Amino acid sequence: MVDPITLGTSLVLGAGGVYLLNRYRHQRADRLRTLALLEKYSSRSRIGLHQGRMRLLVSMPQVGDLPLAEQRARHEREERRKRNYLDLGLLQESDENDPLQDESAAPTEDQRMIELEARAQWMEQHEPPLEQHAAVVAEEHIGSGVVVATEEDEESEVDIEERLQREGGASGTVQISLAWDDYNDLDLHLFCPSGERIYFNNKKSECGGILDVDMNVRPVSNTPVENVVWKGEAPLGTYKIGVHFYKHHRKRRTKRKCKFRLRVVTHGETREYLGSITYGQAMQMVTSFSLADAAHKA
């Protein structure tokens, strides 16, 4: 007669093994699907020598580049991310009684420090669910941004550069800059090749990336910009760029839907993306790219 405890243990172990096997199969299928999409839809360009080595830039596909079936699949994933965002309780409501929402209010340094403290307190409570949500977003391999040809959008490029100079933003071998045109607080989230994420609560990564401009924690500007930069050697691997609508500031008729521009500079190559995000929407994966050693790749 088989011992019930032994039988139960065997069933549990067997079920666990089946679960892990199925999970591995799904992950492998996702990886193969991603590679197939990249092979079919990504654009590649050699970007010359950097410190004696050739670099190859591989730009991931955007949703508009895909067949309708793939677009629908991405839309379904986006809906799941939105539900995940709301289920985790990450949406915060604006304070209608905040004096800085008034048209004539001018924020002071003391008020900015109060808001920074409020954000720190929010992070104490919400950092674990925000990490969970970011992990879900990082699984996405299709971008939502609209690629804008630099030569056709020179004003946008100049505007971003002027904002960076105004705020003291640095430039480097890899640089990602986010700009928008109202008092809302959007946040740039950069997923590094190592898996580390650079954002307002982790401004310096171990791989050398720095968030050196972080704006509108208080509604101080209607021409804000954020900037992540590698001043030295940027690591090889895949970079993913997310945008999060952190807070809607009800100031000067600022809307709940915010248009933004994203500029990506990699070893002198520049690409720009236009997008929009609505308050309460999940963190949006705008684009991603990979840097590889071209000689090794060849």
Which residues lie below 8 Å from residue 105, measured CB to CB, with a gap of 6+? 99, 251
Three-class DSSP category at 2: coil
Could you tell me if 262 and 286 are in contact, meaning their C-beta atoms sit under 8 angstroms apart? yes
* 296 against 207, higher pLDDT: 207
> What is the number of alpha carbons within 13 Å of residue 101 lying toward its C-beta?
12
Residue 119 reports pLDDT greater than 70: yes
- Let me know if 116 is exposed, middle or buried by CB neighbors in 10 A (0-12, 13-18, 19+): middle
Distance CA 75, CA 69 (A): 10
Residues 87-109 as b/e (b if ≥16 CB within 10 A, e otherwise) read ebebeeebeeebebbeeeeebee
* 133 against 1, higher pLDDT: 133
% of the chain at pLDDT higher than 70: 71
Tell me the two tokens of residue 3. Answer: 């011992």
Among residues 253, 258, 257, the alpha carbon closest in space to that of 102 is found at 253
- Per domain, the residue ranges of the chain are 45-297
Residue 298 reports pLDDT greater than 50: no
pLDDT digit string, tens, across residues 212-258: 999 998 888 889 999 999 998 899 999 999 999 999 888 877 889 99
Residue 127 reports pLDDT greater than 70: yes
* 222 against 41, higher pLDDT: 222
Among residues 280, 256, 89, the alpha carbon closest in space to that of 184 is found at 256
pLDDT digit string, tens, across residues 178-209: 999 999 999 999 999 999 999 999 999 999 99
- pLDDT classification of 5: cutoffs 50, 70, 90: low
pLDDT digit string, tens, across residues 21-39: 776 676 666 556 555 555 5
